[in-house]
Chains A and B, each alone.
Chain A
């Protein structure tokens, strides 16, 4: 069996979804961990986002995260592209649908991964526009550069100030971020444990553990993400 045969088979296509899904879960851990540095400002009024800006600077200036960033974009692209491709392919397998749909056997969010994923994609575009574009492409063409701040004589992007600008007073944007976190929670609730089944984990004990960790992850990580815009919006951090 050639690699082409493997990755064009129905199982192989799902493997791509599973592996990229797990890769994106790992990304979420890094992302939520680094962003949680914004709350340093809640404990130390002198912080003014310094800890977060330094963490963001490390990610933006170090060569390794930059290489991983290319992998991240590739991961996103593969996951989204393959996801849509599979959804379209699978829909074509039943030309005449049922009069009474079978709803009891599976959870609504397991059947709605494409819709939840589409909401996340729309959020992703908005999120990249808010933070990644000004940070990485600021100053190019018409893209406004970010405000700069110096720590120990080293120039940093003030992404903390950017977050404040985006979220403070912008009810609609904060609501969209929170809604996206809800979509992420349900997407993960199915996706986390499903990805491990897809890559072949069939040990019942490990699967039980993955299921529990997956539920915890799906609640905690999106909740932390949702608290970030809310923290600025309600003035918990300034």
Chain B
């Protein structure tokens, strides 16, 4: 692949903290390599800002390998940028051309308040998990691998749902700021497995209740979440969550 350097204009959301109003600021970065990751480009910008005596742009990141779900930028009108099934840290600058203006915004949802600049508080997701995204097991010896037979299709579907890294792109993409794709992935991967069966009813009830309490919107099946999800979580999980919820509503 051809390597090239580029000069870019960045329109970046700057916000001091949760309680202040934010605004967009324009920055220029020069000599950006097409082989850099998007976050590395931001590292360059931040070094430049520090040198100029300005506060660096705060953004979330951790593994930079596309597996932790920390990075969270809304780039040119799409969570995690223009590539499909990709996280911001795995977005590379070859996606852009010399002279481009890139608009970078934080996830927008009242349930994800901005902490600073591009960094949002996603602890609402943690509280949804705490409400039921687990199985209760007694400690003891590890169970033999094949004592619980699981159909191949169910195991595959459960693994596909368990791919969710909880980055929140689904919420950012949804016109209703709904967390249903995230929630449905978490409910599905446990509902599909025998280990999840004992808490199946209470799990979906409690997790939906917590999601509503956190202030996420409801799902209108537009499919924007599925289209932007870096792990390609299927919207079918939302339909499965709905059926789990209906079944749970008839439980005593």
In the complex, residue of chain A having the shortest beta-carbon distance to the beta carbon of B244: A200
> Does A100 lie within 8 Å of B76, measured CB to CB?
yes
> Does A105 lie within 8 Å of B223, measured CB to CB?
yes
Number of interface residues of B (CB under 8 A): 52
> Does A194 lie within 8 Å of B221, measured CB to CB?
yes
For the complex, give the distance between the alpha carbons of A98 and B178 in Å: 16
How does the 8 Å CB contact mask read for A87-99 relative to B, with 1 for contact and 0 for none?
0011011111111
Residues of A within 8 A of B178 (CB): 10, 90, 93
Residues of A within 8 A of B11 (CB): 99
Q: Which of B219, B227, B236, B249 has the most CB of A within 10 A?
A: B249
> Does B77 lie within 8 Å of A101, measured CB to CB?
yes
Residues of B within 8 A of A98 (CB): 74, 77, 105, 108
For the complex, give the distance between the alpha carbons of A75 and B76 in Å: 41
Residues of A within 8 A of B173 (CB): 102, 105
In the complex, residue of chain A having the shortest beta-carbon distance to the beta carbon of B172: A102
For the complex, give the distance between the alpha carbons of A24 and B29 in Å: 56
Residues of B within 8 A of A105 (CB): 78, 173, 222-228
Select one of B77, B212, B239 contacting A100, CB under 8 A.
Answer: B77
Interface residues of A in 83-137 (CB under 8 A from B): 86, 89-90, 92-107, 110-111, 113
> Does A102 lie within 8 Å of B249, measured CB to CB?
no
B218 at the interface (CB under 8 A from A): yes
Known: A11-B208, A11-B241, A106-B223. A90 touches B217 (CB 8 A): yes
Residues of A within 8 A of B239 (CB): 196-198, 200-202, 207
A6 at the interface (CB under 8 A from B): yes
A12 at the interface (CB under 8 A from B): yes
For the complex, give the distance between the alpha carbons of A202 and B224 in Å: 18
Residues of A within 8 A of B227 (CB): 104-106
Min distance, Cβ B44 to any Cβ of chain A, angstroms: 23
Residues of A within 8 A of B251 (CB): 1
Interface residues of B in 143-201 (CB under 8 A from A): 173, 175-178
> Does A102 lie within 8 Å of B205, measured CB to CB?
no
For the complex, give the distance between the alpha carbons of A14 and B176 in Å: 13
> Does A111 lie within 8 Å of B218, measured CB to CB?
no
> Does B246 lie within 8 Å of A10, measured CB to CB?
no
Min distance, Cβ B207 to any Cβ of chain A, angstroms: 10
Min distance, Cβ A148 to any Cβ of chain B, angstroms: 46
> Does A197 lie within 8 Å of B176, measured CB to CB?
no
B111 at the interface (CB under 8 A from A): yes
Residues of A within 8 A of B248 (CB): 1
> Does A15 lie within 8 Å of B221, measured CB to CB?
no
B220 at the interface (CB under 8 A from A): yes
B79 at the interface (CB under 8 A from A): yes
> Does A104 lie within 8 Å of B78, measured CB to CB?
yes
Residues of B within 8 A of A202 (CB): 236-237, 239-240, 242-243
For the complex, give the distance between the alpha carbons of A90 and B226 in Å: 19
Q: B residues bordering A, Cβ < 8 Å? A: 11, 24, 74, 76-79, 103, 105, 108-111, 173, 175-178, 205, 208-209, 211-212, 215-228, 235-246, 248-249, 251
Q: A residues bordering B, Cβ < 8 Å? A: 1, 3, 5-6, 9-15, 86, 89-90, 92-107, 110-111, 113, 190, 193-194, 196-202, 204, 207
Cβ-closest 7 pairs across A and B:
A200-B243, A105-B227, A100-B77, A105-B224, A202-B239, A90-B176, A106-B222
